[in-house]
Structure 1
Amino acid sequence: MVNTEDKCAIIGYGSWATAIVKILTENKIYVKWHILNPDVKQSVESEGRNCKYLRDVDLDASFIEASEDINHVVEGAKVVILAMPSAFIKKVMEPLTLPLSDKLVISAVKGIVPDEYIPITDYVKSHYNVPDNQIAIITGPSHAEEVGLSRWSYLTAVCRNLEARAMMVEMFSRPYIRVMESDDIEGVEYAAIMKNIYAIAVGLANGLGYGDNFIAVLIANCAAEMSRMFESCGGATHNVLASACLGDLLVTCYSTYSRNRRFGLLIGRGCTVRSAMNEMTMIAEGYFAAKCIRHTSAQRNVEMPIADMVYEVLYHGASARRQMRDLTTKLK
């Protein structure tokens, strides 16, 4: 149960972090918000808005304490939510000296730790000694922009601790948000990683001029690849049809809000990988995920031609047109 005196630390100040702050403060949960950008910090404190991300979303500043000091933010918090791009997790967390082992740590990051080929939850466990039953994920097919507009959305609270899941349902439920529960940490986290790669693939296809018929088959095959990766995880039953898996895949592949789809679209239209990155105002997590999944699928001997195609285009400069043409013979 969430008590009014409980504090929640939010690490990150981008779109999804801002949407999470909106949800929590609407539920009268006091938020200690780690904001490294001085302009964003000032706008949150003086205007109740993030001047850089979701600029039109009003936040209840009476329930927010913003700070550039990560240790101050974490101190006294019962729950710590990680909501930064995965590419920055090491740099952002490096100054943290306080322990996390006595807190519920929730990852809202849909990516991997660069150069370590591990999901965020594994990184938190290994570097901060957080027990399994205090590791959680909040995820789902929910773009921050639509949460900011209070449009009907679904989230999934993922944790092996039943009591912690119940608390998360209470924290994140709103009249426009339904929160479901799962204990499938590994499956849900890998789904969140892989869907960004597949959104890049869809963007590539769109940019190259492929139509709806092809895109439908491409996404169906993406879901099949996800299922094969799930099977390699072993252990618990992983449901690729769950909204946190298939739903998140679909919204990331089709939505105009999807930065990963847009990244692929730019490359498909002729931009180099570097120029596409420079044109993006936000991080495309799928770029880093492609390298991780290439490494993981090779280790586990999982056949993933779509993810492999994206990797070849992003990291080896392969022709997107030629790679997509070759892929057409492998889809079923």
Structure 2
Amino acid sequence: MKQIAVVGAGSWGTALSMVLADNGCSVNLWSHRKEQAEEIQEKHTNAKYLPGISIPGGVSGTDSLSKALDGSEAVLLVVPAKSMREVLKRIRGLLKHPLLFIHGVKGIEPVTFKRMSEVICEEIPEELRRAVVVLSGPSHAEEVSLRHPTTVAVASKDSEAAKEAQNLFFNRYFRVYTNEDIVGVEIGGALKNIIALGAGISDGLGYGDNAKAALITRGLAEITRLGTKLGAHPLTFIGLTGMGDLIVTCTSVHSRNWRAGNLLGKGRKLENVLSHMGMVVEGVRTTEAAFALSKKINVEMPITEAIYQVLFEGKHPKDAVDELMGREKKDEIAALTESLSDKNSGKRQ
């Protein structure tokens, strides 16, 4: 029986713990809140994040990071992007042997604009990590916890590590593909949250399916432009962690980013929205990071810029939409084709 430490007991960390337990793994699920860890351990529930769901007995709750890691062969990180580096520093001081590091975090580190795999490699010495794998794709925790059919991808520079992660999670309701493009998988998973905010704003304004289809499609073009400039493979963005994740996040009430955007579109202020949500809305800080990064590396991202203006500059959502619609005429394919053939694009990793 494999022992896995899952760091982060939100809805996604809990759902993935259930998948691992269903596959015969012994899971130590870590929460920084003692009362939450005790609820998981004693009641086998996590009512705040997954109400009405019974957690398998193979999942143990703990608020001790040392206990969670002790004896584990792999660690699954499911914490907010802004907290990742701090958590990794704590983990580094507790490691006694090298682990497989897997993360399911869909975000970019604020200020540094680093992807989560980059943060892991910076904070965990090479001798203490066997490999780094990212798990991403169209997957609401609420549906995974109900064991509804779900398909995701795992990506790593180490193909054997990706296969190991695939074997850990693959089962009758949770299908897992491997992918070598860790840059594309991480960028797609993070930036789709920005477009989901936009889709929620559009719905909150009372616009219909036409507007949402445009946001998803042109949003994918923006994600692809930035991703390929950073070295991602363009085909990744028409797969599970690109278009797949965009569809599920932009069209479902399960999506906290869509829900936050919807409230913004209805006139609520950002501070009020975040307080109302009660959970981390990764798309907010990802918008800030992606906007700054796009300016730094000179990639055009008009939807991201518009959402940034709504979130951080007080622009009214309707004014942002009007400005997007009134932009200069363009050829649909030309800008994307130019970005894909850009000789200055980053080296694929």
Normalised by the shorter chain, which TM-score bucket? over 0.9
Q: Structure 1 stretches of 5 or more lacking a match?
A: none
Q: Residues 10-29 of structure 1: matches in 2 within 5 Å?
A: 10-29=6-25
CA apart distance, 1:114: 2.7
Checking the alignment, whether the CA contact within 8 Å between 1:133 and 1:159 is kept in structure 2 is: no
Alignment partner, residue 255 of structure 2: 258
Checking the alignment, whether the CA contact within 8 Å between 2:137 and 2:153 is kept in structure 1 is: yes
Q: Secondary structure of the equivalent of 1:138?
A: strand
Alignment partner, residue 140 of structure 1: 137
Question: Are residue 275 (structure 1) and residue 272 (structure 2) matched?
Answer: yes
Question: Are residue 42 (structure 1) and residue 41 (structure 2) matched?
Answer: no
Question: Are residue 198 (structure 1) and residue 195 (structure 2) matched?
Answer: yes
Checking the alignment, whether the CA contact within 8 Å between 1:82 and 1:108 is kept in structure 2 is: yes
Give the ranges of 4+ consecutive aligned residues of structure 1 lying more than 6 Å apart after TM superposition.
none
Alignment partner, residue 161 of structure 1: 158
| Worse-matched range after superposition: 7-16 or 230-239 | 230-239
**Which whole-Å CA distance do the structure 2 matches of 1:163 and 1:269 have between them?**
48
Say how many residue pairs are matched. Answer: 327
CA 1:243–1:234: 2 relative to 1, 3 Å: same
CA apart distance, 1:288: 0.5
CA 1:115–1:41: 2 relative to 1, 3 Å: same
Question: Are residue 76 (structure 1) and residue 71 (structure 2) matched?
Answer: yes
CA 1:100–1:262: 2 relative to 1, 3 Å: farther
CA 1:100–1:14: 2 relative to 1, 3 Å: farther
Superposed CA RMSD: 1.9
Checking the alignment, whether the CA contact within 8 Å between 2:41 and 2:62 is kept in structure 1 is: no
Alignment partner, residue 114 of structure 2: 118
CA apart distance, 1:66: 2.5
CA apart distance, 1:90: 3.9
Q: Deviations over 1:141-185 (max 9, x none)?
A: 010000011111101111122221222121111211111110111
| Worse-matched range after superposition: 124-133 or 218-227 | 124-133
Letter in 1 for 2:176: V
**Which whole-Å CA distance do the structure 1 matches of 2:10 and 2:302 have between them?**
32
Alignment partner, residue 66 of structure 1: 61
Letter in 2 for 1:174: N
**Which whole-Å CA distance do the structure 1 matches of 2:296 and 2:198 have between them?**
22
CA apart distance, 1:100: 8.3
Question: Are residue 233 (structure 1) and residue 222 (structure 2) matched?
Answer: no
**Which whole-Å CA distance do the structure 2 matches of 1:215 and 1:235 have between them?**
26
Q: Secondary structure of the equivalent of 1:271?
A: coil
**Which whole-Å CA distance do the structure 2 matches of 1:320 and 1:101 have between them?**
51
Corresponding residue to 1:318 among 305, 308, 315: 315
**Which whole-Å CA distance do the structure 2 matches of 1:235 and 1:170 have between them?**
25
Q: Secondary structure of the equivalent of 2:238?
A: coil
Checking the alignment, whether the CA contact within 8 Å between 2:85 and 2:119 is kept in structure 1 is: no
Instruction: Report % sequence identity.
Output: 30
Letter in 2 for 1:328: M
**Which whole-Å CA distance do the structure 2 matches of 1:93 and 1:226 have between them?**
27
Letter in 2 for 1:191: G
